[in-house]
Structure 1
Amino acid sequence: MKIVRKPRLQKFTIPSSEASCSDIYKEISIMKELDHPNIVKLIEVIDDSDCDRLYMILEYVKGGCILKGPDSTGGIPEATARKYLRDIVTGLRYLHSCGIIHGDIKPENLLINDSGQVKICDFGVSQRFEGNNDELRCSPGTQVFTAPECITGATYHGRAADVWALGVTLYCMIFGQYPFIGDTIKSTFHEIIHRKLNLPKSLNPYLANLLEGLLCKDPIKRLTLEQVTQHQFYKESS
């Protein structure tokens, strides 16, 4: 369940032309449209005028998130990461087909149910696009998952930015740490823009190739979700 005090809603706005209402109402509007096995379902919204609170009743996902944050001991098994990747890609392709950019793909927003299925949650910073024009003007997601073009340009393409965040997430699943991180937000952004992706030579070459394609700093050359589904690592049997 997500509970929001209504007097605070006016503070939760995105400073861009894409947002014409508060984050929470936009999140509700988006979630009402969605119905997919890899998306956490919004079951009901209760507007309690007596205590000025809004209750979002969400599907209960028992297993928690796919990863509990950076871990120096390493990530999860490659076969498990591949399984999770397939679920995340399937959910993201559905969102994009609905004209929705998630905007904050990261392990904390990817939950696992009893059967091991991944469900995407938290649409608080998600944005809509129409047709094939996914050009956006603001990137309110988590900094360490932010694509380079979201930092350097006035606009960016939402689907490519979601793919970058998917790449960071896959890297986290495999290695238990972030690919680009600094001591401050400024230094983290510098790492994202300028530092080359370094992968161990012992890594599965198919996985290495996929990570390089997902974390390509040029969004035009970056893999699309459709290309990910055709990638050898994605199609390998676990």
Structure 2
Amino acid sequence: MGGCLKCFGSDSKEDPKKEPIIDKEDSKTNTTSDSITQRKSSAAAPVQITLEDFQIEKVLGKGAFGKVFLVTKKDNGQVYAMKALRKEMIEKRNQVVHTKTEREILGSIDCPFIVQLRFAFQTPDKLYMIMDFINGGELFFHLRRSTSFTEERAKFYAAEILLALDYLHTQGIIYRDLKPENILLDAEGHVKLTDFGLSKQFFGAENQKAFSFCGTPEYLAPEILKGTGHDKAVDFWSLGALIYEMLAGAPPFYSRNREQMFRNMLSKPVEMKPHFSPAACDILKSLLQVDPRRRLSNANEVKTHQFFEGIDWGKLWKKTIEAPFIPKVKGPRDLQNFDKMFTEEKAEESLIVTHLNAEQKAANRYDGFTYKDPSHL
């Protein structure tokens, strides 16, 4: 573990937004776009969708590989979120496989608690993914405003997230980056999981494990830190960390010194706050087990835990249970639930692409990336 810790530095500057660690793709269980099955008929069929079909309105966020924009489709006025990724940065950071996997996963899933991909296309130097715009804001945004949530509110979000994780796991997908920044609230207050850049899809033996060292430090499961191989159990550790943060206002084991935080995760019992209910304490202890073999990591068993007592899982899946909090949203373009640091930035995306010769353009293609949701007109 010592070698893994050194790559972060021992004392990082505290950042209100928690950034993920991104390692190279798994060498033992490599997945390429060609090996992932399309679950929607005709999902990979070529479509003539380009950047010129969209009017760019605002910046919603940015990351290491590019930006997310609010855009309007010119022919029908529909509002979307557009994720623009620079191929140069993807390749420089050895993230080609992860990027292809994200696109394939988003094009193959259909879950009420996961953001929906509508279109995907590319230029010689960039990749674009067009998704439904969810304008209730990040769970991170609302949690920082409230400091912490009531147990009832935390239970509601955790239950919907559990349904999303269970759906992914039944599709052979582990998420690996569960955190408040990757959870959106829609206008009715229901969750939408987003950002599948670190996800992994498996085929073959049930006991297959991944070995990438990736995730967000505050939520990394111990088996990822140890490098012993991991599976879907890491998502249940992260669920425990997220429930803890919603109730306490900060992740468990948190320290500004990352090396100390990682040591805490591996050796220190999780500290239960005085206001936690017995049921909350019990589920946190069950999910935040260092040994994945002892961790509560079966979705059906988690659903029947006393912490989730009273949840009607059928109604929850149908979203007929009213959310405990409804975000303030005035209309489809209302950005009051997004950080002004981004939304006030000048929004533009150049139509001028890098000048590449035919050979370079061919080498810079991401085969199978183009996509149109067959159920979306």
- Deviation of 1:48 after TM superposition, in Å, equals 2.6
| 1:141 maps onto 2:227 in alignment | no
- Deviation of 1:201 after TM superposition, in Å, equals 4.1
| 1:167 maps onto 2:240 in alignment | yes
**If the length of structure 1 is used for normalisation, what is the TM-score?**
0.89
User: Measured at CA, do residues 72 and 36 of structure 1 come closer, stay the same or move farther in structure 2, by a change above 3 Å?
Assistant: closer
| 1:28 maps onto 2:103 in alignment | yes
Q: Deviations over 1:76-99 (max 9, x none)?
A: 111111110111000000000000
Aligned residue in 1 for 2:92: 11
- Matching of residues 86-235 of structure 1 within 5 Å: 86-130=159-203, 131-156=205-230, 158-224=231-297, 225-235=299-309
Q: Which amino acid aligns with 2:309?
A: K
% identical aligned pairs: 32
Gaps of 5+ in 2: 1-81, 312-323, 325-377
Q: Deviations over 1:53-97 (max 9, x none)?
A: 221101111111113388597411111111101110000000000
Aligned residue in 1 for 2:362: none
Q: Which amino acid aligns with 1:8?
A: M
User: Measured at CA, do residues 151 and 113 of structure 1 come closer, stay the same or move farther in structure 2, by a change above 3 Å?
Assistant: same
Q: For 2:210 and 2:225, how far apart are their aligned partners in 1?
A: 13
Gaps of 5+ in 1: 15-20
Aligned residue in 2 for 1:18: none
User: Measured at CA, do residues 173 and 149 of structure 1 come closer, stay the same or move farther in structure 2, by a change above 3 Å?
Assistant: same
Q: For 1:71 and 1:104, how far apart are their aligned partners in 2?
A: 19
Contact kept in structure 2, 1:65 and 1:110, CA below 8 Å: yes
Q: Which has the higher contact order (CA 8 A, sep 6+)?
A: 2
Q: Which amino acid aligns with 1:3?
A: A
Q: Which amino acid aligns with 1:37?
A: P
Q: For 2:116 and 2:140, how far apart are their aligned partners in 1?
A: 21
Q: 1:60 aligns with which of 120, 133, 144?
A: 133
Aligned residue in 2 for 1:17: none
Which region of structure 1 is more displaced relative to structure 2, 77-86 or 176-185? 176-185
Richer in helix (by share): 1
Q: For 2:208 and 2:179, how far apart are their aligned partners in 1?
A: 20
- Deviation of 1:22 after TM superposition, in Å, equals 3.2
Q: Which amino acid aligns with 1:147?
A: A
Aligned residue in 2 for 1:48: 123
Q: For 1:149 and 1:54, how far apart are their aligned partners in 2?
A: 32
User: Measured at CA, do residues 46 and 133 of structure 1 come closer, stay the same or move farther in structure 2, by a change above 3 Å?
Assistant: same
Report SS of the residue matched to 1:136.
coil
Q: For 1:72 and 1:218, how far apart are their aligned partners in 2?
A: 34
User: Measured at CA, do residues 81 and 134 of structure 1 come closer, stay the same or move farther in structure 2, by a change above 3 Å?
Assistant: farther
Please give the root-mean-square deviation of Cα atoms over the aligned residues, in Å.
Answer: 2.0
Aligned residue in 1 for 2:343: none
User: Measured at CA, do residues 12 and 25 of structure 1 come closer, stay the same or move farther in structure 2, by a change above 3 Å?
Assistant: farther
User: Measured at CA, do residues 90 and 73 of structure 1 come closer, stay the same or move farther in structure 2, by a change above 3 Å?
Assistant: closer
Q: Deviations over 1:204-234 (max 9, x none)?
A: 1111111111111111111122211011111
User: Number of matched residues?
Assistant: 229
Structure label with greater radius of gyration = 2
